[in-house]
Amino acid sequence: MLPIDVAAHSSRWRRRHPLDKAVLGLGLTALAITLPPWPGSVLVLVTALALLLGPAGVSARKVWRAWRVPLAFCVTGAITLTVQIGAPGAVISAAPHGTERALEVLLRSSAASLGVLLFAFTTPVTDLLTWLLRLGVPAPVIDVALVMYRMIFLLLASVRSIREAQAARLGHTTRSAAFRSLAGLGATAFVKAFDRAGRMQGGLAGRGYDGTLRVLASGPPVSRRFVSLALALLAALVVLTLVLERLLP
């Protein structure tokens, strides 16, 4: 399993209803997008980090490993706003107010990504899909998502074993050998994916599959107290942002 999936299954909020965590995590994401970048997005970022490292019980190392990829995209997107192409007298020049806009985009996007990570680090995919099924999402869509979710880990395990076998046969000693190994890895993974899909289809057909994967799904009820506290926290962030926006320059 991926580290974020392991963290979700071992989270302190693992047994909470997905709606509880969606109100909090996705609510923080919505605030990061709608509130002013300063100080709104900063407050959302700090709050999301505090919840992840505190009540949710996620280690700082896991948070950084998961956050650094979207953060890199945020930084890359923000940098492009600092320059303009085709300005009079120069092919590339500094954009007017580019640094300010880049900082605003960086604050909004990084804070919003932490809100999503708060939900992802505390909600396993299986719980999320079960909740979506109860909300009325068509069962075939949920079944396809569950199968794809399972296939991802199977293919990652296959790719890891193939790479280890190639490395044991000195398949990465030179650049040309590395390219050949990479091509072989892609071809083998493609064949294995089709083979596993065929075997899965045969297994489902042998078990009388009729279009729906029936599993036992029992989860905790929605916690009104948790939802109320989450809404109160979101409201407090909005009020604090409006107050600080007037007090701070």
177 shares its domain with 235: no
Answer whether residue 7 shows pLDDT above 90. Answer: no
Query: CB of 84 within 8 A of CB of 98?
Result: yes
93 shares its domain with 182: no
Answer whether residue 243 shows pLDDT above 60. Answer: yes
For residue 109, tell me if it sits in a domain.
Answer: yes
For residue 80, tell me if it sits in a domain.
Answer: yes
Answer whether residue 125 shows pLDDT above 90. Answer: no
Q: 202 pLDDT band (50/70/90 cuts)?
A: confident
Answer whether residue 231 shows pLDDT above 90. Answer: yes
Mean pLDDT within 29-45: 90
For residue 84, tell me if it sits in a domain.
Answer: yes
For residue 213, tell me if it sits in a domain.
Answer: no
50 shares its domain with 74: yes
Looking at residue 84, its pLDDT comes to: 76
DSSP string covering 161-209: HHHHHHHHTTTTSSHHHHHHHHHHHHHHHHHHHHHHHHHHHHHHHHTT-
For residue 211, tell me if it sits in a domain.
Answer: no
228 shares its domain with 108: yes
Mean pLDDT within 217-223: 72
- Tally the domains of the chain: 2
CA separation (Å) from 13 to 56, 61, 111, 154, 188? 6, 19, 21, 27, 39
Domain of residue 57 covers 3-123+221-247
Query: CB of 112 within 8 A of CB of 43?
Result: no
CA separation (Å) from 234 to 11, 40, 52, 78, 107? 22, 11, 16, 26, 18
136 shares its domain with 242: no
For residue 214, tell me if it sits in a domain.
Answer: no
92 shares its domain with 173: no
For residue 76, tell me if it sits in a domain.
Answer: yes
Query: CB of 119 within 8 A of CB of 25?
Result: yes
For residue 108, tell me if it sits in a domain.
Answer: yes
Q: Taking all residues of the chain, what is their mean pLDDT, rounded to a whole number?
A: 82
226 shares its domain with 115: yes
* pLDDT tens-digit map of 103-117: 888 899 999 999 999
Which runs of consecutive H residues, i.e. helices, occur in 58-138? 60-79, 98-122, 125-134
37 shares its domain with 59: yes
Looking at residue 229, its pLDDT comes to: 92
Q: 219 pLDDT band (50/70/90 cuts)?
A: low
Interacting residues of 42 by C-beta distance below 8 A, sequence separation 6+: 107, 111
171 shares its domain with 238: no
13 shares its domain with 108: yes
* pLDDT tens-digit map of 178-198: 888 888 888 888 888 778 777
73 shares its domain with 112: yes
Mean pLDDT within 121-143: 80
Query: CB of 116 within 8 A of CB of 26?
Result: yes
241 shares its domain with 166: no
Q: 249 pLDDT band (50/70/90 cuts)?
A: low
